[in-house]
């Protein structure tokens, strides 16, 4: 099993669509979390000055980041492409970054 850092930007102009399918995205990822495939995940936020100008709670969401456990990069791409944010076009999947990571230090959560 390998560890992968995944960073996926949102497609421009998709904030409303993202809000509508957030529950489906979360449910999808909770099943991957329960299966031990997702270590953690969350929103990538804008810089503080962007967030201060954004009326949405928590500020500007720029995309998503995950740490995933999978055997191959193809397995990771499959997980990404099956996500409701990917299938809806909320994520700009073509600009996703998937990087193998060798974990050497970790703090228990």
pLDDT tens by residue, 26-75 = 999 999 999 999 999 999 987 666 655 655 555 678 899 999 999 999 99
Please, which residues have CB within 8 angstroms of residue 9's CB and are 6 or more apart in sequence? 44, 62, 63, 91, 92, 95, 96
DSSP strand pairing (97-101 vs 38-45) = unpaired
- Sorted by where each begins, the domain ranges of the chain are 2-101
The dihedral region occupied by 62, where left means phi > 0, alpha psi between -120 and 50, and beta the remainder, is alpha
For domain 2-101, the question of CATH label 3.30.70.1060 is answered with: yes
- Give the per-residue pLDDT at 37: 98
More confident of the two residues 87 and 16: 87
């Amino acid at each position: 099993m390998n560890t992968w850092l995944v960073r996926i930007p949102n497609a421009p102009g998709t904030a409303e669509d993202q809000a509508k399918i957030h529950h489906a995205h979360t449910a999808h990822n909770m099943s991957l979390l329960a299966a031990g495939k997702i270590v953690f995940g969350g929103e990538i936020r804008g810089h503080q000055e962007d967030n201060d100008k954004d009326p949405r709670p928590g500020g500007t969401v720029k995309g998503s980041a995950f740490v995933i456990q999978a055997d191959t990069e193809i397995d990771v791409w499959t997980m990404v492409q099956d996500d409701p944010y990917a299938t809806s076009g909320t994520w700009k999947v073509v600009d996703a970054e998937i990087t193998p990571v060798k974990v050497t230090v970790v703090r228990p959560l």
